[in-house]
């Protein structure tokens, strides 16, 4: 029973760390999101409305070389979180 609680606590901590790192990444690359989601704020770090395929396509087709850095850092974060 105690081991199960410890595993659950560990998962929650890792989830919270991943969320914090995701918000920091979004803040770092906020300029990429501004035309799609408005300004980044602590109160509103996530999109509230559904995102359709066209919006994702438009986001990924931006003419900004920093988009590649964002995608690279995002993939690193997701893969690191998955392994823990």
Nearest-angstrom CA–CA distance, 48 and 62: 22
Where does residue 36 fall: left (phi above 0), alpha (psi -120 to 50 degrees), or beta otherwise?
alpha
Confidence of residue 55 (pLDDT cuts 50, 70, 90): confident
Can you give the pTM of this predicted structure? 0.67
pLDDT of residue 7: 54
Mean confidence (pLDDT) of the chain: 75
pLDDT of residue 66: 94
Domain map of the chain by residue range?
Answer: 2-83
Nearest in space to 32 (alpha carbons), one of 67, 65, 57 = 67
Place of tokens 């999101």: 33
List all residues 6 or more positions away from 39 whose beta carbon is below 8 Å from its beta carbon: 30
């Amino acid at each position: 029973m105690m081991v199960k609680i410890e595993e659950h606590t560990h998962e929650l901590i890792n989830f919270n760390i991943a969320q914090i790192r995701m918000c920091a990444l979004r803040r770092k690359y906020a300029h990429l999101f501004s035309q799609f989601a408005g300004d980044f704020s602590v109160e509103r770090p996530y999109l509230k409305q559904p995102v359709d395929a066209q919006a994702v396509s438009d986001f990924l087709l931006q003419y900004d070389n920093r988009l590649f850095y964002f995608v690279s850092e995002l993939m690193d974060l997701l893969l690191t979180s998955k392994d823990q």
